[in-house]
């Protein structure tokens, strides 16, 4: 028996080639791709303008790498976290964050994460594999369905800030974002998409060549190379200066967001803010301060709100845009760094 291929991994050319083998017309490829990416259809049976004989051939040759919502949980602040199951029985999470005007989908790109940041619950999970284009795409489809069901709001923004390091799965992430822009139930443009990364210089440059309209957030977390390395093991490979250089060379149209998780007595001193200012002065950016969210097996704590506001004030005094990111969904382990497939 021939092993079935994942149809959502095929491009138009490959599909046309497959169709030609069966004597099928080229335009069928367009019809099928439209069902998959514009309609978000996950069953060949429902592709109503495709003849039954062709549907049977499709079913014999292909599978669709479907994800299903295993369960979801809602925070007292409305944030919803969904647990997804893949066709090969892995689990990962996605989040919907509604506010007055928007509904933001926070999506994952990997199952587990190979980066292993000391302060992040996803890093404590075993890295299993990259998510596919279809899985990343469908996450937004499913989160949009949840958002419409629970809040009567379609997804207006996508942040790639869930599980995993998107730039280690760049091809699939970019591929999926392109498909998300095609999906007919939502209206997402590049400017409504933010990719958050630990900062991999080559990949930053590669991404900027593919799409420089998208927003980039950089997880810096300490302006000191040694402290950063102690928090983020992969930082040993890439110096802060190399990453800054990549941002300077890349031609992203929108300012880079520097993400800075504030951890008591680790990166919250006056010296830290002074050095952070030196870094932020080197390229067009704004700063997001994220109070550390509590996770299991980790002794870090967040500084007091007063200390966080003082830190922010020092940045504002130097004319930086610095905001304190409100933690949403902390009670359901749905905030930054808390995603670890735990539903209790």
Can you tell me which of 40, 112, 175, 337 binds ligand SAH, judged by CB under 6 A?
337
- Torsion angles phi and psi, residue 47, rounded to 5: -85, 85
Is 120 a binding residue for ligand SAH by CB under 6 A? The answer is yes
Is 119 a binding residue for ligand SAH by CB under 6 A? The answer is yes
Q: Are 276 and 315 in contact (CB under 8 A)?
A: yes
Q: Which of 335, 329, 337, 336 is nearest to 297 (CA)?
A: 337
Q: How far is CA 207 from CA 29, 43, 167, 173, 270, in A?
A: 28, 32, 8, 10, 34
CB of 309 vs ligand SAH, minimal distance in Å = 17
Nearest residue (beta carbon) to ligand SAH: 337
CA atoms of 339 and 232, how far apart (whole Å)? 17
Site for ligand SAH in 165-224 (CB under 6 A): 165, 196-198, 219
CA atoms of 159 and 218, how far apart (whole Å)? 13
Q: Which lies closer to ligand SAH via its Cβ, residue 141 or residue 336?
A: 336
- With a CB cutoff of 8 Å and minimum separation 6, the contacts of 65 are 6, 8, 9, 86, 87, 132, 134, 135
Can you tell me which of 84, 183, 292, 311 binds ligand SAH, judged by CB under 6 A?
292
Q: Which lies closer to ligand SAH via its Cβ, residue 47 or residue 113?
A: 113
Q: Which of 77, 87, 124, 65 is nearest to 341 (CA)?
A: 124
Which one of 93, 135, 142, 259 is the catalytic residue? 93
Q: Which lies closer to ligand SAH via its Cβ, residue 64 or residue 262?
A: 262
End-to-end CA distance of the chain: 43
CB of 228 vs ligand SAH, minimal distance in Å = 11
Binding track, positions 127-166, relative to ligand SAH; x by CB under 6 A: ----------------------------------x---x-
Active site residue 93: yes
Q: Which lies closer to ligand SAH via its Cβ, residue 154 or residue 234?
A: 234
Which of 86-94, 96-104, 237-245, 287-295 is the region at the interface with ligand SAH (rule: CB under 6 A)?
287-295
CB of 51 vs ligand SAH, minimal distance in Å = 44
Q: Which lies closer to ligand SAH via its Cβ, residue 96 or residue 336?
A: 336
Burial tier of 88 (Cβ tally within 10 Å: 0-12, 13-18, 19+): exposed
Rg of the chain, C-alpha, whole Å: 21
Is 261 a binding residue for ligand SAH by CB under 6 A? The answer is yes
Is 252 a binding residue for ligand SAH by CB under 6 A? The answer is no
Active site residue 275: no
Is 19 a binding residue for ligand SAH by CB under 6 A? The answer is no
Q: Which lies closer to ligand SAH via its Cβ, residue 29 or residue 163?
A: 163
SS3 content of the chain, % helix, strand, coil (to 5): 40, 20, 40
CA atoms of 108 and 339, how far apart (whole Å)? 10
Residues near ligand SAH (CB under 6 A) are 115, 117, 119-120, 161, 165, 196-198, 219, 259, 261, 290, 292-293, 295, 336-337
| Catalytic annotation, residues | 93, 336
């Amino acid at each position: 028996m021939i092993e079935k291929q994942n149809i959502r991994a095929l491009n138009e050319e490959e599909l046309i080639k497959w169709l030609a083998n069966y004597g099928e017309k080229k335009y069928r490829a367009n019809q099928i791709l439209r069902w998959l990416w514009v309609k978000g259809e996950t069953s060949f049976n429902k592709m109503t303008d495709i003849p039954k004989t062709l549907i049977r051939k499709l079913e014999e040759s292909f599978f669709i790498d479907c994800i299903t919502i295993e369960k979801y949980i809602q925070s007292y602040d409305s944030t919803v976290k969904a647990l997804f199951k893949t066709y090969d029985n892995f689990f990962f999470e996605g989040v919907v964050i509604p506010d007055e005007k928007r509904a933001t989908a926070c999506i994952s790109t990997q199952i587990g994460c190979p980066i292993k940041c000391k302060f992040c619950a996803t890093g404590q999970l075993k890295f299993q594999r990259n998510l596919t284009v279809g899985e990343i795409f469908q996450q937004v489809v499913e989160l949009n369905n949840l958002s419409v069901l629970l809040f009567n709001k379609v997804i207006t923004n996508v942040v790639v800030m869930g599980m995993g390091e998107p730039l280690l799965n760049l091809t699939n992430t970019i591929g999926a974002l392109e498909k998300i822009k095609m999906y007919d139930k939502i209206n997402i443009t590049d400017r409504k998409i933010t990719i958050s990364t630990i900062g991999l210089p080559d990949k930053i440059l590669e991404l900027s060549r593919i799409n420089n309209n998208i927003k980039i957030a950089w997880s810096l977390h300490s302006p000191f190379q040694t402290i950063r390395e102690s928090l983020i093991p992969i930082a040993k490979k890439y110096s802060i200066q190399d990453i800054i250089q990549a941002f300077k060379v890349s031609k992203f149209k929108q300012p880079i967001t520097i993400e800075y998780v504030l951890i008591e007595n680790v990166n919250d001193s006056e010296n830290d803010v002074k050095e952070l200012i030196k870094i932020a002065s080197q390229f067009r950016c704004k700063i997001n301060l994220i109070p550390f969210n509590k996770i299991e097996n980790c002794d870090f704590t967040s500084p007091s709100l007063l200390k966080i506001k003082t830190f922010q004030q020092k940045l504002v005094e130097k004319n930086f845009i610095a905001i304190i990111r409100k933690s949403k969904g902390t009670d359901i382990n749905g905030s930054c760094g808390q995603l670890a497939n735990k539903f209790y």
